[in-house]
A = this chain, B = another copy of it.
């Protein structure tokens, strides 16, 4: 029985994140706080680094949770690896590409935007064409959370290596929910978030840097004390028997939650988890199609972990989404930017990528839209049985 005096409502989180946090992770979160220099915490940090490497599919020495939400990972990556005047190719096909272009501009980069319509992947050829002139880094959003589109990474690393440039990737919404193999794709640095397919609370940004990226870390000259990796790594990157050097106080309990989340991921196995997310995505897509909700992303460009669907004509976003939250207790997300009021974004993340929560959503949406509830639920189950 909770002794807390604050109260929060019951919600089924099927929006763009945060995702449903299992009790096991909430229990880990609530373990007693210990010190950030305690040897017991140091051992846990090693476990988290190992679990992150495995989740990212990388042998990189540097794998750590940045002490902030997903965007703090973006900021840390840019502040440390991009110098004023650097020519940086930035794929923009949704809000998070736009956000990165803004971040790059703030850090003085000469940003070369390579765009695609929101809801489509960027053609690889367009990125390679921009890479024909010298550049310092290429950034792409692997998992565009604003549209539910997955960006292929094939062929980008070779183009980057030709110009001794870094390949930088946002995988906030794909990590452990959509196939991703950083080393096979030649990614030099990537960041993610804990509140998507990892099912941990928000507040940490898992990040990894490879050996090509490390020499670029702007030792002492990063325009940020908090995110300066030359300092942060003295704490996080355990070298032989050197003690960990205090930088800032790590968010101890969030690290507990991340450790537990990674344990759950690796108990299931990464490939089994990817396959489950793909199946959950397809099943829900089929069910929602029965209700007249068609997926935004074309087949082959979809992101398993986020299903964005177009609103049917005559359906007003808030008139469904608000009571779905406040009366049915189910959160889904609206569209952003040019897609505001035109799409819903439904998370298919970790424990949200299960038939039970999906059936609850399908039934509630069918009732609110006046659609074929039985047909939709049958399609959902058929998808899961396929």
Contacts and interface: CB of A to CB of B under 8 A. Distances in A.
A36 B24 contact: no
Contact of A263 (B6, B8, B202, B254): B6
B223 A106 contact: yes
Copies in the complex: 2
A225 B5 CA distance: 34
Contacts of A36: 18, 202
A319 to B, nearest CB: 16
Contacts of A75: 224-227
Interface string A1-36: 011111111110101011011011111111111111
Interface stretch (A64-72, A115-123, A174-182, A365-373): A64-72
Contacts of A107: 223
A13 B27 contact: no
A2 B31 CA distance: 8
Interface of A: 2-11, 13, 15, 17-18, 20-21, 23-36, 38-41, 44, 47, 67-72, 74-75, 79, 99, 102-103, 106-107, 193, 195, 201-203, 221-227, 246, 248-254, 256, 259-260, 263, 325-326, 331, 336
29 contacts: A2-B30, A3-B24, A3-B27, A5-B263, A6-B260, A6-B263, A7-B31, A9-B34, A11-B32, A17-B249, A18-B34, A26-B31, A26-B33, A29-B253, A36-B202, A38-B325, A39-B325, A39-B326, A69-B248, A69-B249, A69-B250, A71-B226, A72-B248, A75-B225, A79-B224, A195-B249, A201-B253, A203-B253, A246-B336
